[in-house]
Amino acid sequence: MKGEILKNYINGKWVDSRATKTRDVINPATGEILAQTPMGTKEDAEESIQAAKEAFWRWRTTPAQSRIRYLYELRDAFEENFDELAEVCTLEHGKTLDESRGEYRRTIESIEIATSIPSLQMGFNFEDVAMGIDEMMIKQPLGVFFCVAPFNFPAMVPAWFWPLAIATGNTYIVKPSDQCPITMVKQFEIIDELDFPKGIINLVHGGPDVVNTLIENPDTVGLSFVGSSKIGNLLYRKAGEVGKRVQVQGGAKNFITVMPDADLERTIPNLITSFYGNAGQRCLAGGVLLAVGEVYEPLKDKILDAAKKIKLGYGMDEDTQMGPLASKAGMDNVLKFIDKGIEEGAELILDGRNPKLDDNLINGSFIGPTIFDKVTPEMTIAKEEIFGPVIPIVKVNSLEEAIEIINKSRYGNASSIFTSSGKSARDYQYNVNAGNIGINIGVAAPIASFPFSGMKDSFKGDLHGQGKSGVDFFTEDKVVITRWF
């Protein structure tokens, strides 16, 4: 075997691969074997991951200004060794030295551009990138996009997408929830009255057959899905197989942390809205209440008092404060979670089952405000999305413990802290792995100019809905380089 076996560079050291197979690296101009590439193993990869994982925290906490100094140094070193680097490139690739030099010029430029990150001054349109050559980036619409929407916000969720999509020049199909489609029918009646140009926005009802067709048809460009993580993950894979753009906003389990220094009088109404608004059926709803230290007793008493005062009833009545679950199936699902909580040993201190209602509501899907005390993080009701008016209270000893629990969740949609300490709030926003963070805000819902973020099993894709990310999702970046003779 000719040529040396190349080594891995892990944790600042050259190390041998565990590979048993290698591949020749050949100078394509001469046929000479230059070296052997090890066809690395699982363990090689694990070794590098472990090293990177361990290095992460320190690198992350290094200020950006300091991080980029390494890039400046690298840039200088590349300049000093410029000719040699270009020669090696030519040897193994076969391109001319001038081409290799050009390639390295670009490599160095990429490093230089990255050094501007702290100032966030990465403009797009430049004159004279080289003498007499201008460069610009234009954003172009791509074609037909569609959304698959959930039942819980049947008017708002499709509007996270379609206005931006058509404003950027695409055409659109809304596939509303098959459970709550009339809201969109109403919107389309108004669209019809306004005489929109034909075909720019469309509505199609249905279930999996419609959705699968929308995904598989080669004439659609991309999909915005909002719904459960189970279906979202399925569609994410399907859409990926056929090369579609896809953003999947999935389910959630949002933790709300209350610190001992929180202003409880103002916190309680926020918590009530967060856990019981929309009868708990919102992806940004509070899912677990983490009571830190001595706030536990007063918080429990006050939230119990406030929850008991909520008026459950018919949504059409002006004085109703909480309506039913959106379906029987949804209600049955919540009831199963309540049973599970009891079975696993949590203490039901407010039981919303079989609430007393007016006679005209006895067939409704009602569950009243429900609270579980003595919940532990391992219990099902502390881990799974209940999507109903249930507060599981978990007592913790410190902010660090709260954050550790939150970051173990499979979800990462939203999380809020109630505190009067800037330090606690800052630690929270810095360390919690959730896409939308609330500080003394119980429902951390981004306004439309901001991306609707989300992490882990709450979001799949690269570009979030709304804001600049939304614009990017619905457009392609095209770079134009111009020289006029």
Active site residue ranges = 283
Residues 165-204 that bind ligand NAD (CB under 6 A): 175, 177-178
Tell whether residue 249 is a contact of ligand NAD (CB under 6 A): yes
Where does this chain touch ligand NAD (CB under 6 A) — which range of 15-23, 25-33, 129-137, 247-255?
247-255
CB of 470 to ligand NAD, least distance (A): 13
Kindly tell me which residue out of 37, 48, 183, 228 binds ligand NAD, with binding defined by CB under 6 A: 228
Tell whether residue 221 is a contact of ligand NAD (CB under 6 A): no
Give bridge partners of residue 13 from the DSSP assignment. Answer: 10
Number of other CB atoms surrounding residue 53 within 10 Å = 9
Q: What's phi and psi for 135, nearest 5 deg?
A: -135, 135
Nearer to ligand NAD, 91 or 441 (CB): 441
Tell whether residue 283 is a contact of ligand NAD (CB under 6 A): yes
Nearer to ligand NAD, 148 or 271 (CB): 148
What residue is closest to ligand NAD based on CB? 227
Kindly tell me which residue out of 28, 102, 118, 207 binds ligand NAD, with binding defined by CB under 6 A: 207
Sort 10 into a burial class: Cβ within 10 Å, 0-12 / 13-18 / 19+.
middle
∠78-83-84 over CA atoms, to 5°?
85
Kindly tell me which residue out of 89, 174, 211, 381 binds ligand NAD, with binding defined by CB under 6 A: 211
CB of 157 to ligand NAD, least distance (A): 6
Nearer to ligand NAD, 178 or 347 (CB): 178
Number of other CB atoms surrounding residue 2 within 10 Å = 10
Tell whether residue 254 is a contact of ligand NAD (CB under 6 A): no
Kindly tell me which residue out of 151, 161, 296, 418 binds ligand NAD, with binding defined by CB under 6 A: 151
Tell whether residue 341 is a contact of ligand NAD (CB under 6 A): no
Kindly tell me which residue out of 132, 199, 208, 269 binds ligand NAD, with binding defined by CB under 6 A: 208
Kindly tell me which residue out of 38, 181, 251, 323 binds ligand NAD, with binding defined by CB under 6 A: 251
Where does this chain touch ligand NAD (CB under 6 A) — which range of 75-83, 364-372, 399-407, 451-459?
451-459
CB of 233 to ligand NAD, least distance (A): 10
Residues 390-409 that bind ligand NAD (CB under 6 A): none
